[in-house]
Amino acid sequence: MTNGKFVISLDFEKHWGFFDNRHLSECKSQLSNVDIVINQFLEQSRQHNVCITFATVGILFAKSKAEIYKFIPNLKPNYSNTSLDAYKLLQNMAVNDEKFYFGQDLVSQIKNDTLHEMATHTFSHYYCQENGQTDADFYADLTSAVAIASHLDISLKSIVFPRNQVNSSYLKICEELGIETYRGNCWFNFNNNPRKLKLIEYFLKTSRMIDSYLNLTGSNSFKLEDYNLKRSKLINIPASRFLRPYTPQLGFLEPLKINRIKNAMTKAAKRNEVYHLWWHPHNFANNINENFKNFSEILEHYSTLRKQYNFESITMQKLGEEYRKLKN
């Protein structure tokens, strides 16, 4: 590629992304701010002409519990860990809580802003590495995601796997259903298999936490050809870094965190590489001002790099298209 690329992907999931870990009563205040956060993303990204790929849980495309039942697949995952069952949660959902689980108005807002890409985060926040689920279950889930998006005249071309559980045997299914790009894992992120040893999991989690502030693993920018075979139809655009949300306890470390990202962006711009930043909208829903101050600083730095090195903001879908043309 003749210039560096800057990719942002957001895992847009509301409570579907962590209902197994936190009860709704613990996070209602945070989730109530997601609409504000999405609107600020749209406003600030427009100011800097920055594209975002919104990888969205399919259930969020609906207005209500009544509407979503038209799209629920017949085949559902039978997770050994029953706390992951989204359909059980849906069944018991109170009408007053629906705003924490549906988001058609927000989806339409994003769709109507032509800068951005609507991508899939599967229909039900599907866990591709969990015991009990099958490839047939995944096919049914992704088919429902494609169907409900199509209902809103949205064509899904990119996927982000929930909790970064990339199951290589499911990539062919993604291709069959029209997906062209996916967010793979960075070389040092092996935290996508729940069956690994707990000691290794703890070590990796701690290492990544430290690496957010101190340079342990390098910039993690990359060339697409290093992650994709020449004949690959489904393009892997791996994550470079998770943008950790602001926490008051670690506030004194924020300059280190943001400079770590800015330095990596600069390296990508100079080397004509890709830098792929990701997080969740709800990560910004606490300490909103501090989080958007960080976001603004990143966008300002992007604008500087665009002028100096022709660093380009791009969606996952468009980057996949460009790379495919280069290969051909």
Asked if pLDDT for residue 274 goes beyond 50, the answer is: yes
State the CATH number of the domain containing residue 218.
3.20.20.370
Give me the helix-helix angle, 254-271 and 288-309, nearest 10°: 20
Q: Give the total number of structural domains in the chain.
A: 1
Which residues form the domain of 126?
5-327
Mean pLDDT of 76-96: 97
End-to-end CA distance of the chain: 13
Tokens for 71, please give them: 């799209």
Residue, of 9 and 198, whose pLDDT is higher: 9
Residue 12 falls in which region: left (phi positive, over 0), alpha (psi -120 to 50) or beta: beta
pLDDT of residue 18: 98
> How far apart, in whole angstroms, are the C-alpha atoms of residue 91 and residue 104?
19
- pLDDT tens by residue, 100-123: 999 999 999 999 999 999 999 999
pLDDT of residue 213: 66
Asked if pLDDT for residue 82 goes beyond 60, the answer is: yes
Average pLDDT, the chain: 93
**Range in 9-23, 133-147, 184-198, 222-236 the model is least confident about:** 184-198
Residue, of 325 and 189, whose pLDDT is higher: 325
> How far apart, in whole angstroms, are the C-alpha atoms of residue 272 and residue 230?
19
> How far apart, in whole angstroms, are the C-alpha atoms of residue 328 and residue 229?
13
Asked if pLDDT for residue 69 goes beyond 60, the answer is: yes
Tokens for 280, please give them: 């969740």
Asked if pLDDT for residue 277 goes beyond 50, the answer is: yes
How many C-alpha atoms does 40 have within 13 Å on its Cβ side?
Answer: 19
Asked if pLDDT for residue 197 goes beyond 60, the answer is: no
Whole-prediction pTM: 0.94
How many C-alpha atoms does 99 have within 13 Å on its Cβ side?
Answer: 10
- pLDDT tens by residue, 119-169: 999 999 999 999 999 999 999 999 999 999 999 999 999 999 999 999 999
pLDDT band at 190 (very low <50, low <70, confident <90, very high): very low
